[in-house]
Amino acid sequence: MAKLELTDNRKAKVRLTSAEKDEVLIIEGKDRKELGEENKGTLIITGNAGQLVGPSNEGTIAVTGNAGDYVGVINEGTITINGNAGDEVGLDNRGTITVNGKAGDYVGIGNEGTITVIGNVGDKVGWKNKSTIIVFGTIKSLHKEASGIIIAGNVKKDHGIPWTKL
């Protein structure tokens, strides 16, 4: 999807931030926001990405660095972050999200897909989770209304919510 951005000299330039089906696009992250919006192809983001990576993604997105908050909002495809991610990873996720570092708070709100985090995760994980969240590190706390399948190396505060230890 191309977005139109006006520059100071009133000339327009096109900024590509997602790929069409059967298309591969490689872009520099430069901490930019909303990369991969409505992506249907393969998007490789080199370096760090800002918040909102892959909203309404149906394709494949790979980030070689870190990503900000809201990775995979309404994701139906595959997103891989090779560094750390911020808060609210997998909000209404229906696809597959892998974070090869740590993630922040509120991971897996309304999750219906699979979320895997290799590192530690913050507070209030798994609210309205209907599927699977796997954390190889430690979850600081589960949400008081967490549900679904939660598998972790450890959970510091589980509020009596059942989970499976790795």
Task: Quick: pLDDT tens for 2-49.
Answer: 444 444 444 433 446 788 888 899 999 999 999 999 999 999 999 999
Residue 51 CA to residue 156 CA, distance in Å, equals 27
**29-34, long-range: CB < 8 A, 24+ apart:** 29/63, 29/64, 29/65, 31/68, 33/68
- In sequence order, which ranges of the chain are alpha helices (DSSP H)? none
Q: Model's pTM, two decimal places?
A: 0.90
